[in-house]
Chains A and B, each alone.
Chain A
């Protein structure tokens, strides 16, 4: 069972404000989704390892610097002296 408190905690981990109404709705839906996922839990696939695409270190990007050359944050309204304005951090000022 995925409880309402758990959904709330997941909402915190994902930084989503969830209303009471949303919590109620998600509680039952998400529980059903997880129940469906539980068919994986019964599987024994010990011999199998996840497969990854591979690439040789020799074929990676060559270390060369270049400027992107365009203003990539043109529409950002919250700017000050080139900095982006953000909310309060938790480090004491």
Chain B
């Protein structure tokens, strides 16, 4: 019976640290995408004789933040290793990476990341350099080499084989993408910024590696294909070979690779040109205090402060862009439910429909968060009905222009009157006396009170100021 086979899936995710200014070991630009071939190179990243790697301090910082977010242990000393193999895109014919076989010296180990209903153990996180890129010309048998990408910093995140279902892999990858976005270390919408290799074994069969999956979205498809293929083979009692297969993006199938991995012998040894890097406790403490809000924390805040549902919050935080857009808009006009529902239903489907053209991020739509706030206001105040609102919305999304009526503008102005803010708070404290009592014990409940104040004032007071007034008033109680 097919269903009795247990499936084990492990992942190796490569994530470029796109927020850096320079490469991992030299001062060439990390943003290689803007340059003509071989315009973003120097003696170091092309491996000219006599050059030495100069490790980027911020690369360590960003990688350590990824480790913290994944609850990894960060060792006090880290080393870089040479992975020796020849290839056309590798200027030195070795890759500088990290390695744990001779002692734990990679930037992070033994982490854990929860997603959906499950969690996956993180075996290790390591820093390494990206190779250059190859392309081909029609009618020629040779290759064309561009070193602009060579030396761009990558973090490699390796999980234990803790997944059993490709669907979980997708949830995990979405979560991970949101984390690196929230950390500000990687813009996952850039082509090639995140890549994923997967390994899969079914029952007692040998492990198959799937390489070359260049978008997170395709990983689930590749794994589903591979599971179907392997189960079919097992049903016919064919033996599954331990091998490496490549994902064919066009045909959506996995194909046997021509390179034989078993012939590789990487001859790792620690890079003599890079000293052992000491990462002291104080450094990590400082870094910990600088950690930005992570998706899980943000979700809790969305639920408590904006009163959004678990589901809507989850959808919003899955993409930092989306969550940022929402918050910016809600700051202008406090109608979180209205705004989030427009984003989650209308805007997201627009982005999905146009992802080929624009890239799968809300960043490329022309409508500003302010315009969305305005639409939400018009709905809330009954100025337009939902049907008209939708028309206005699509208009704005495409053109960046919002056709508004100029009437009733006064309602949209911010309330700057301290007395008015205090009166609104008093009102809320009266109607929500039970919540006030709760709030004295549980600070999260003051977010609820703030929500009520925002509702009452139609989002026209500054939430920061209002919250501090609420907290002040709570002390008086």
Expressed in whole angstroms, the Cα–Cα distance for A17 and B98 within the complex equals 30
- Among B38-46, B186-194, B310-318, B346-354, the stretch in contact with A: B38-46
Partner of A90, one of B38, B137, B141, B259: B259
Q: Is the CB of B43 within 8 A of A68?
A: yes
What residue in chain A is nearest B79 (Cβ atoms)? A52
Expressed in whole angstroms, the Cα–Cα distance for A80 and B144 within the complex equals 8
B355 within 8 A of A: no
- A91 — which chain B residues lie within 8 A by C-beta? 134, 258
Q: Is the CB of A63 within 8 A of B59?
A: yes
What residue in chain A is nearest B43 (Cβ atoms)? A72
Expressed in whole angstroms, the Cα–Cα distance for A80 and B134 within the complex equals 13
Expressed in whole angstroms, the Cα–Cα distance for A89 and B279 within the complex equals 40
What residue in chain A is nearest B265 (Cβ atoms)? A13
Expressed in whole angstroms, the Cα–Cα distance for A58 and B61 within the complex equals 10
Do most interface residues of chain A lie in helix, strand or loop, or is the interface mixed?
loop
Partner of A57, one of B39, B265, B270, B278: B278
A residues 45-93 touching B (CB-CB < 8 Å): 52-58, 60-68, 72-73, 80-93
Q: Is the CB of A86 within 8 A of B145?
A: yes
A36 within 8 A of B: no
Expressed in whole angstroms, the Cα–Cα distance for A36 and B73 within the complex equals 42
Tally of chain A residues near chain B (CB < 8 A): 34
B358 within 8 A of A: no
What residue in chain A is nearest B53 (Cβ atoms)? A61
Evaluate whether A65 and B22 lie within 8 angstroms (CB atoms) in the complex, with A54-B77, A89-B143 already known.
yes
- B277 — which chain A residues lie within 8 A by C-beta? 54-57, 60
- B270 — which chain A residues lie within 8 A by C-beta? 52
B28 within 8 A of A: yes
Q: Is the CB of B39 within 8 A of A56?
A: no
Most buried by B among A15, A62, A63, A86: A63
B236 within 8 A of A: no
- A55 — which chain B residues lie within 8 A by C-beta? 275-278
B residues in contact (CB < 8 Å) with A:
20-22, 27-30, 36-39, 41-43, 46, 48, 54-61, 77, 79, 86, 88, 134-137, 141-147, 258-259, 265, 267, 270, 275-280, 283
Known: A15-B86, A64-B27. 10 other contacts (CB 8 A): A53-B276, A61-B27, A68-B41, A68-B42, A72-B43, A83-B145, A85-B143, A85-B144, A86-B134, A87-B142
